Amino acid sequence: MSDGVATSLENPLRAGLRLWRTPEPCIMVIFGASGDLTSRKLVPALYNLARERRLPGGFSVVGFARRDWDDAAFRQILLEAVNANSRTRPVEQALWASFAEGIFYHRASFDDPAGYARLAERLAAIDAARDTGGNRVFYLATPPEAYPEIIARLGDHGLNRSPGDGWTRIIIEKPFGRDLESARDLNRQVLAVFDERQVYRIDHYLGKETVQNLLVFRFANGIFEPIWNRRYVDHVQITVAESLGVEDRGGYYDRAGALRDMIQNHLTQLLTLTAMEPPVAYDADAVRDEKVKVLRAIRPIAPAEAERFTVRGQYGPGSVSGRLMRGYREERGVAPDSQTETYVALKLFVENWRWAGVPFYLRSGKALPRRVSEIAIQFRSVPTLLFADTPVNEIEPNVLAIRIQPDEGITLKFSSKVPGQAQIRPVTMDFRYGTSFGVASPEAYERLLLDCMLGDSTLFTRRDEVEASWALLTPILEGWAAGPPQNFPNYEAGAWGPAAADAFIARDGRAWRRL
Amino acid sequence: MNTLPFVDSATIESELQRLWQETAETSASGEAVTRALTLNLIARATDPAMAERISAVARDLVASHPNRTLLAICRPEETPPRIEAWVQANCLLSAPGVPQVCGEQISIDARGPVTAQIASLILALLAPDLPVVLWLPGPAPFDDPLLPRLLGVIDRLIIDSRDLTDPARDLKRMAVFDRDPGTPVGASRRVALSDLGWAALTPWRELTAQFFDTRPLLPHLRRLDQVEIGYVPAGERLNPVPGLLITGWLAACLDWTPLEDAVSIEGATLRLHLRRPAVGVGPRAIRLVTIIITPVGGATPGLASLRLRALDGVTADFHVQRTDDQGHVLTSAEVAGHPPVRRLTRCVEPSLAELVAAELRLLSRDAMFSAALQRAAIFAARLSYLEEPAGR
């Protein structure tokens, strides 16, 4: 069974409540094993899964990279990485020793065919020694330029199909392309070697509990869906704010910018989950069908309209949380006259029966005052002010805010009378994951790695989804490129973006939420 | 925390209201205090030590299930007769800037004949429109006079089979209650039974089930011949209930049925013989599974080892065993024709609060528990027959 579909053979001991399904033993081959993602996210996530009994015995990791390391050196480096980055620390020695028995290092360069031939032999040997049954996950954690080479070589060496009746899947990190054409190209290259059902395009935002809860919140509660439409909703604001600058990713970021780095993936995901219709089932294709329909319903923005529907910014020197921060153009790897946006705000319309006329404002930026991500549904105001004698000019509209980070939860703002006074005040009803459910939320990568091993692609991006999102944003990139250079930098590090962004939303008689 | 001068439900309610008002005004961090209730937890204690254990659990539960705890300390034998009550907020320590979430607790201490009144007081103090859970720790939950009085309002009864003094008798009573709780006519719901002893077995069931998520190993599950269960008794008392429940679980999942009289006791070791569906040798062939339940030494009471083996033909051996008292277990799968697969993982014995929280998470009956319990009760009944002195 090489198509990546989960097995239908039932384990009778799994019947009933409480027990999680664990994946079959498999080997995860990480390309780019010496990189940051491997040590910061992937291996800590795998260690925690092993620690919490979510991985089967025999599970193995093969790191594929160029550095001159061996198994022992790689294990030691990963041990230090897990000790530094795991949500459970320090590492328990006995557990690590057992987990590390399944960690191997494969030294080769991505473009060396002999390296893949040796990899195939190595995987067969691990299958034989650790009973992993030919099941493989290839994880592309490399710079995106290396994807085509790796994918083609995997195909050349027959590594796209498993021996015996095992399965093979591939996880591809973002960015998936840098515009519509390159995304289509990459899809063509991937699908020349793998079937779509084997392909898991990862966006770690979908692994976050609150993001998944968005669907539960909408479709498991009877009271929200009737008001989740143009009749009751005034507008929607989706914010993903980062307080950090570009750090050591200047070289990559200067070629990407906020639209490619954040909007195309994370914010688009949040938008589609907020706006989608109820899927016919909670399964990979039904959910993704609805998300794609949202993307197709969004009114396209032509290149000539790009400036009207978007605002760009780039941070200059300033201070964030009391710490001085360099301007973007002073960062390593960034051109001194860079025109790359580190902030972007845009207004989109989902033109379907549910949402026609309701603007969706999206904003994301770096070097903003704090790290916060949320979706805010602002409802229409009451039609008239009944309480004219109260010392207020207007009653604040109800807002339902779904916070994704840092503290995940849901808040509903409504008006209430102040006891003993003729005053009306907004108050909030708060639901917090951290306090309502005592268990710590697993890291997004833990959930997604496990889903992939279990063969569930619901929380991964499908081919048409990624292309629809690029189809929407590529004309904006073209419009920006055709226009005059921007007067960057136009906001201070530590400010909520450029003044133009405030004017942009104020033109519609609205304001950004203060976060 | 004030002891109330006069105990009735209205006094207690107004005392609670005063408590929340004070809490809001004097919140130490200056942050908002959020009172949150997701359920009513009625817990009965028979002495102050048990009451303290329950209070500690109630405090821990705020993190996952903020609730109104109604702690009833029932001491009918003590004199002089009196009834006292006090209220307190159970708050979660929160980080600066984060609102504090609190549940509330009403404790009622009754001595002498007035203990009989405690159920009526509890009924008047339940927070409306929330699930009601009754927790009866201790060895004889089904003899507790609170149970019949509250049966009409509770959604769930929590007991702990690890506390049972007479497993054969009590497992049977659990099974009877589970089949038919005797809910009064007109009650809107059927009471679900929860057993903390069963909840403590979840990690063991999980680790065992994991072996067979591997497709090539799955067929061996149907050809097991022997199950060996080792447990560390709590104190002096032998209580094979965890072993019987695990056996009941395997029997329910794998269609094993008990054979008449096929039970033996050798010292502290129990042997059960079950019939399993035959695999590949014709439908009428009888295949037996032998279950061996043995007490073993160790510092942490509970299961210590669970081993499933197929001895006939291709040998297969699946073993989960504790390796230390720090919560580590070694799992190993040794199957002819496959490389042996071993791994060390974590399986810390859950705390009392974690076990209660796990049961509170359930919103319906745990059908697998029912199936395992019904079978375990049959095995226990066979044991009690053996245990009876000769000539009776």
Residues 252 through 311 of chain B touching chain A, CB cutoff 8 Å: 253-254
Q: Yes or no: say if B270 and B292 are a contact pair by the CB < 8 Å rule.
A: yes
Instruction: Give how far B67 is from chain A: nearest CA, Å.
Output: 11
Identity of the residue in B99, B218, B253 whose CB atom sits nearest the CB atom of A430: B99
Give yes or no for B27 touching A (CB within 8 A).
no
**List of chain B residues whose C-beta atoms are within 8 Å of the C-beta of residue A17:** 362, 366-368
Q: Say whether A16 and B92 touch across the interface (CB within 8 A).
A: no
Q: What is the 3-state secondary structure (H, E, C) of A449-490?
A: HHHHHHCCCCCCECHHHHHHHHHHHHHHHHHHHHCCCCCCCC
Q: Yes or no: say if A323 and A499 are a contact pair by the CB < 8 Å rule.
A: no
Give yes or no for B103 touching A (CB within 8 A).
no
Q: Say whether A13 and B344 touch across the interface (CB within 8 A).
A: no
Token pair recorded at residue A453: 């091993």
| C-alpha–C-alpha distance, residues B31 and A412, integer Å | 18
**List of chain B residues whose C-beta atoms are within 8 Å of the C-beta of residue A19:** 202, 205-206, 209
Q: Yes or no: say if A299 and A351 are a contact pair by the CB < 8 Å rule.
A: yes
- As beta bridge partners, residue B226 has B290, B309
pLDDT at A388 over 70: no
- pLDDT bin (cut points 50, 70, 90) of residue B214 is confident
pLDDT at A5 over 50: no
Which residue of A11, A48, A127, A407 to mutate against B (max B Cβ within 10 Å)?
A: A11
Q: Yes or no: say if B22 and B110 are a contact pair by the CB < 8 Å rule.
A: no
Phi/psi for B85 (5° steps) reads -145, 150
Residues 203 through 232 of chain B touching chain A, CB cutoff 8 Å: 203, 205-216, 218, 221
Q: Yes or no: say if A233 and A379 are a contact pair by the CB < 8 Å rule.
A: yes
**List of chain B residues whose C-beta atoms are within 8 Å of the C-beta of residue A126:** none
Segments of B46-184 assigned E as strands: 67-75, 82-91, 100-111, 132-135, 156-159
By three-state DSSP, how is residue A442 classified? coil
Instruction: Give how far B81 is from chain A: nearest CA, Å.
Output: 40
pLDDT at B274 over 80: yes
- As beta bridge partners, residue B156 has B133, B192
Give yes or no for B165 touching A (CB within 8 A).
no
Q: Are strands A27-31 and A136-140 parallel, antiparallel or unpaired?
A: parallel
User: What integer pLDDT is reported at residue A94 of this predicted model?
Assistant: 92
pLDDT at B247 over 80: yes
DSSP state of A67: S
Higher pLDDT, B30 or B288: B288
* Distance separating the N- and C-terminal Cα atoms of chain B: 56
User: What integer pLDDT is reported at residue A241 of this predicted model?
Assistant: 96
Nearest CA in chain A to B359: A18
Cβ contacts below 8 Å, chain A against chain B, sum to: 132
Find the chain A residues whose C-beta atoms sit closer than 8 A to any C-beta of B: 7, 9, 11-25, 50-53, 56-58, 92, 94-95, 97-99, 128-131, 133, 165, 407, 430, 432, 434-439
pLDDT 10s digits, A131-175: 999 999 999 999 999 999 999 999 999 999 998 889 999 999 999
| C-alpha–C-alpha distance, residues A155 and B333, integer Å | 33
Q: How many helices (H) and strands (E) does chain A have?
A: 17, 18
**List of chain B residues whose C-beta atoms are within 8 Å of the C-beta of residue A453:** none
**CA-to-CA separations, A399 to A376, B243, B272, in angstroms, rounded:** 6, 54, 62
**List of chain A residues whose C-beta atoms are within 8 Å of the C-beta of residue B339:** 128-131
- pLDDT bin (cut points 50, 70, 90) of residue B283 is low
| Segment (H or E) for B7 | none
pLDDT at A189 over 60: yes
**A106 an active-site residue?**
no
pLDDT 10s digits, A431-480: 766 555 545 567 889 999 999 999 999 999 999 999 999 999 999 999 99
Q: Say whether A97 and B344 touch across the interface (CB within 8 A).
A: yes
User: What's chain A's length in residues?
Assistant: 515
Instruction: Give how far B64 is from chain A: nearest CA, Å.
Output: 4
Token pair recorded at residue A74: 């790689």
| Segment (H or E) for A401 | strand A399-405
Peptide bond into A279 cis (omega under 30): no
Average pLDDT, chain B: 86
Scanning the structure block, which residue is given the tokens 């294709």? A285
What is the sign of the dihedral through the CA atoms of A212, A442, A172 and A145? positive
Instruction: Give how far A284 is from chain B: nearest CA, Å.
Output: 21
| Cβ-Cβ contacts under 8 Å for A384 (sequence gap 6 or more) | none
